[in-house]
Amino acid sequence: VTCPDGHVTANRACCALFPVVQNLQENLFDGGECGEEAHSALRLSFHDAIGFSLNSNKGGGADGSILLFNATELTFHANGGIDDITSRQFPVFETTGLTPGDFVHLAGAVGTANCPGAPRLQFMFGRPPPIAPAPDLTVPEPTDDVDAILARFADAGFDASEVVALLSSHTIAAADVVDVTIPGTPFDSTVGTFDTQVFLEVLLAGRSFPGNGSQPGEVLSPLAGEMRLQSDFVVSRDSRTACLWQAMVNNQQLMVSSFAAAMAKLQVLGQNVNTMVDCSDVIPEPAPFAGPIKFPASFSMADVEQACASTFPQIQTVAGPAPTVAPVPGS
Ligand code: HEM
């Protein structure tokens, strides 16, 4: 159908979303940037949705409870730093007429689409209002071991390959509260691009800490100005996940398709998809990533701590001296 404003979409119900997407781009994402708010919108969508369990009552999943019941959920330790994005999203949310769940997961999809190389995520429309806050301890922590991480995700319905796929998100990610002395410290050297660089850089031998020494959940990183989460480190080297991790290195297509599939599942956890409308065509088409990825300057295969026996992809090195990764502005 053609909407009154001229947009074309598969279902008339989706027409209401085009002005909301524009509102998000103008009032939350600085005119459509892959910046701090876009990164945090994706993180928020995860922290909301993972409040769910197949086996016990752990919340309503992708219901927007983290936005509506922020007074409760933001006290949970794993939600450190989330107050920043909920306080920026709330005033925009109030202008849209959407339910909290639709708003949080639309913002996650639109924010991700602002990052070159990202997939155009699915967006299902029609989440009812959340009933109650999720309980504590549903969100994995960077101090968790691989057993705990895989168990928590399995409890929410995700296998090991889906966990690795979802961790692609850390290609557009930075930490504000792991080390509070260095807000906005990225997890890879290309934090504004949805590429496979994070899968490569987490495998490089660690050399230093970017800030105030070793913090809980942090391990040595290869580059000045870069943060490495202990959870990414252990997942990249565990026998259950190492080959899944390595397979992502320089395989943009695999990363994008597996991330999109896992996100499609995450963003409707606990929801009745039969009563929802597929409004994916309201999500902007992301710019492509030209690729291929490269080793950061001065790094090579000799720095890779390979944990999977499969052949490692051939990767060139950026010319010049080792870079210092800049913090994400506005963090
Ligand atoms: C084992 C699972 C995970 C752990 C332990 C974990 C942990 C973390 C931590 C500690 C931070 C930094 C927070 C801060 O200091 O500000 C972070 C950031 C982030 N995470 Fe994860 N995460 C996990 C999985 C995911 C998943 C599944 C997604 C999305 C699908 C995601 C998306 C993000 C994003 C986008 C950021 C950056 C936010 C920003 O730059 O503002 N994470 N994560």
Instruction: Label residue 189 by pLDDT band (50, 70, 90).
Output: very high
Task: Look at residue 331 in the predicted model and tell me its pLDDT.
Answer: 87
Angle at 229 between CA 45 and CA 35, to 5 degrees: 45
Q: Give the mean pLDDT of 200-224.
A: 98
Known binding residue 141? Answer is: no
Q: Of 39, 47, 77, 105, which one is the catalytic site residue?
A: 47
Measured CA to CA, the distance from residue 92 to residue 236 in angstroms comes to: 37
Using a 6 Å cutoff on CB, does residue 65 contact ligand 1? no
Mean pLDDT of 7-22: 97
Q: Whose CA is nearest to atom 32 of ligand 1?
A: 43
At how many degrees (to 10) do helices 82-93 and 100-113 cross? 110
Report whether pLDDT(56) > 90: yes
Q: Residue 320 pLDDT more than 90?
A: yes
CB within 8 Å of 13: residues ≥ 6 apart: 125, 126, 277, 279
Instruction: Provide the pLDDT confidence category of residue 88 given band limits of 50, 70 and 90.
Output: very high
Supply 195's token pair: 């590429």
Mean predicted confidence (pLDDT) in 140-167: 98
How does residue 8 score in pLDDT terms, banded at 50, 70 and 90? Answer: very high
List the residue whose alpha carbon is closest to atom 38 of ligand 1. 40
pLDDT band at 34 (very low <50, low <70, confident <90, very high): very high
pLDDT at 201 over 90: yes
Average pLDDT of the residues of the chain: 98
Give me the residue label for tokens 């071991």: 145
pLDDT of residue 255: 98
Verify whether ligand 1 is closer than 6 Å to residue 265 (CB atom): no
Mean pLDDT of 107-116: 99
Known binder of ligand: residue 61?
Answer: yes
The number of the ligand 1 atom at minimal distance from the alpha carbon of 50 is: 27
pLDDT at 177: 97
Q: Is residue 166 lining ligand 1, measured as CB closer than 6 Å?
A: yes
Average pLDDT over residues 204-225: 97
What pLDDT score does 94 carry? Answer: 98
User: Residue 50: is its pLDDT beyond 90?
Assistant: yes
pLDDT value at residue 289: 96
Q: Establish whether 47 is a catalytic residue.
A: yes
- Ligand 1 centre to CA of 173 (Å) is 7
Rounded to whole angstroms, the Cα distance separating 80 from 329 reads 19
Phi and psi torsions of 2, nearest 5°: -100, 125
With the most atoms of ligand 1 within 8 angstroms of its CB, the residue from 170, 227, 237 to mutate is: 170
Tokens of 185: 């410290």
The C-alpha angle with vertex 25 and arms to 19 and 30, in degrees rounded to 5, equals 150
* Residue 156, pLDDT above cutoff 90: yes
Q: What is the pLDDT of residue 3?
A: 98
Q: How far is the CA of 275 from the centre of ligand 1 (A)?
A: 30
User: In the predicted model, what is the mean pLDDT of residues 38-46?
Assistant: 98
Digit-coded pLDDT (tens) for 175-185: 999 999 999 99
| Spatial separation of the C-alpha atoms in residues 185 and 29, rounded to whole Å | 19
Where residue 320 falls (left for φ over 0; alpha for ψ -120 to 50; beta otherwise) is left
Distance of CA 87 to the CA centre of its chain: 19
Query: Residue 149: CB within 6 Å of ligand 1?
Result: yes
Report pLDDT for 207: 97
Residue 65 banded pLDDT, cuts 50, 70, 90: very high
pTM over cut 0.75: yes
In DSSP notation, 75-118 reads TSGGGTTHHHHHHHHHHHHTTT---HHHHHHHHHHHHHHTSTT-
Question: What percent of the chain shows pLDDT beyond 90?
Answer: 99
Q: Is the CB of 142 under 6 A from ligand 1?
A: yes
In order of 146, 168, 301, the CA distances from 249 in angstroms are: 20, 11, 13
The two tokens of residue 275 are 């009563």
Exposure string for 315-330, b = 16+ CB within 10 A, e = fewer: beeeeeeebebebbee
| 138 pLDDT higher than 90 | yes
User: How many percent of the chain have pLDDT more than 70?
Assistant: 100
